Structure 1
């Protein structure tokens, strides 16, 4: 099996796993912790986290996952590893539609709106703002988490079947 395909397959799994883990952590701890905090603190913390997430460590997992998956699919197809190629291209499609697009069209605009919101000093107003943000944001994040988890499973399936020829 050519080394380029093996390397792309492994990187695909690492990137899928990293982005799945990122979204999953928000589902099972971060947002629950913020929901339990004072709403003023929750708004300030979320604003700070959203401002810090666009960085060189986050970039590869979020932006390059579909690139690596599509590259693995193309190389796999060319080498006659059609089952794997279908797994990688399927993973790319699921990730692009369910995680990347949702992030760019829903979660990021919500984050930008929250960033533009002055943090209220009044606890009731802060609670209203936080409650209007947190529930919908979490619902969309669950979709991103599910999609990136499914992409990870599909990429793992493709990796398992790398040695098989055209099928």
Structure 2
């Protein structure tokens, strides 16, 4: 059981880190780079990113974070150190909040941008961009911050788990 408890914490930590890195990377490089682009380039690139990101690897990592986080909470529920459980719960709650932001804010904005159609056929690209860019960037920053919280929660649970294991050895 100790191996399963450790494995779920490691997996939850890694998956939270990967998704936090993705969203943070958008916040500090992709979106600032696109901010410098024309309306046509911005809309076209974001539409393309929103299509290609829904791939098996991303979905496995993104959804796997939920599963691994829940597994980390369940397997560590009766930890010798209650702090392991509390930090795992904190990490999982943060991951769920990030998932909610993504599902409730970013994805609907992505869908609305896709529904605008071919950038070459959009009459007012500046308006389409303005309705998308500001809110999407703000929600992306929020989910990146919360996802870093998930990473921190799982990492602290893992550190406490390790200390408890060292004391038991």
Relative to the length of structure 1, the TM-score reads 0.90
The residue that corresponds to 1:71 in the other structure is 71
The residue that corresponds to 2:89 in the other structure is 89
Report deviation, 1:79.
4.1
Report deviation, 1:123.
9.2
Map of 1:19-58 to 2, 5 A cutoff? 19-58=19-58
The residue that corresponds to 1:105 in the other structure is 104
Count, aligned residues: 164
Task: Write the distance in 2 (CA, Å) between the matches of 1:70 and 1:132.
Answer: 35
Relative to the length of structure 2, the TM-score reads 0.89
Task: Give SS of 1:164's match.
Answer: helix
Task: Write the distance in 2 (CA, Å) between the matches of 1:72 and 1:114.
Answer: 36
Map of 1:2-13 to 2, 5 A cutoff? 2-13=2-13
Task: Write the distance in 1 (CA, Å) between the matches of 2:48 and 2:121.
Answer: 20
Task: Give SS of 1:77's match.
Answer: coil
Task: Write the distance in 1 (CA, Å) between the matches of 2:138 and 2:126.
Answer: 18
Unaligned segments of structure 1, at least 5 residues: none
Q: Residue deviations 1:61-120, cap 9 Å, x none?
A: 2112121112112111234342112111111111112x1001111110110010010244
Report deviation, 1:145.
0.4
Report deviation, 1:126.
1.4
Question: Root-mean-square deviation (CA), in Å?
Answer: 1.9
Task: Write the distance in 2 (CA, Å) between the matches of 1:122 and 1:56.
Answer: 31
**Contact 1:81/1:164, CA 8 A, preserved across alignment:** yes
> Judging changes above 3 Å, is the alpha-carbon distance between structure 1 residues 50 and 126 closer, same or farther for their aligned structure 2 residues?
same
Report deviation, 1:136.
0.7
The residue that corresponds to 1:134 in the other structure is 133
Stretch deviating more after TM superposition (119-128 or 106-115): 119-128
Report deviation, 1:143.
0.7
> Judging changes above 3 Å, is the alpha-carbon distance between structure 1 residues 120 and 55 closer, same or farther for their aligned structure 2 residues?
closer
Unaligned segments of structure 2, at least 5 residues: none
